[in-house]
Amino acid sequence: MNTRAQIVQAMRQLSERGLNAGTSGNVSVRTERGLLVSPSAVLPELLTDASIVELDAQGTVLSGGVPTSEWRIHRDVYAEFSAAGAIVHTHSTYATALAVLREDLPAFHYQVAKAGGHLIRCSTFAMFGTQELSAAVIEALGDRTACLMANHGMLAYGASLGNAMSLATEVEVLCRQYLIARGAGSPVILTSEQMDDALDRFSRYGQPEGG
């Protein structure tokens, strides 16, 4: 499957999984010339390979139509983080609910470490489609691979589109679990030492043990 088709498939999967609704959210993949990104205001079921927009590293359109209004975030994340090979931005229900509260997702579960730290930060607010929002996302990410976007949604990146999709899905599940737990009581937050241990274990996850 070519990269354009992968982006189309990812956008449809995000809609089917309930992580996006209507034309919300966007997906991109880094390329040698810049990036391929989903277009503005096209329903996932109407997307085709030809719908996907190619931009150069400065954000100039090379082919296709009108890119998502959040193209600046995609361009700037690739410029800032060399490990980013693909980006997924969603308006998923529980991540957005926590982002509306403008709260970080704390270390209530060791899986929070999958984003690279002890918590998943929420950015400051900036209007969609602006350079200010891109800067806010870059700051919130820092040394993490996912962040919440105040009064907006969530963003995750990975080495591949599959990695980014998986992380975005996991962040949404974690936000759901956290909000449910908080509704039932006061979640117990893991210690820094416990989260350091989780980070270390995730760094070796899937590798054979032994010496």
Query: Bridge partners of 149?
Result: 153
Q: Give how far the C-alpha of residue 66 lies from the chain's centroid of Cα atoms, to the nearest Å.
A: 21
How does DSSP classify residue 105? B
How does DSSP classify residue 128? T
DSSP calls for 32-70: SSEEEEPBSS--GGG--GGGPEEEETT--EEESSPBPTT
* 58/73 Cα distance (integer angstroms): 12
Token pair for residue 154? 């969530």
**70: annotated active-site residue:** yes
Q: In what order do the strands lie in the sheet with 86-90?
A: 61-63, 53-56, 34-37, 26-30, 86-90, 153-158, 146-149
* 144/70 Cα distance (integer angstroms): 20
Token pair for residue 26? 């966007």
Q: Looking at 45, 54, 70, 209, which residue is catalytic?
A: 70
Catalytic residues: 70
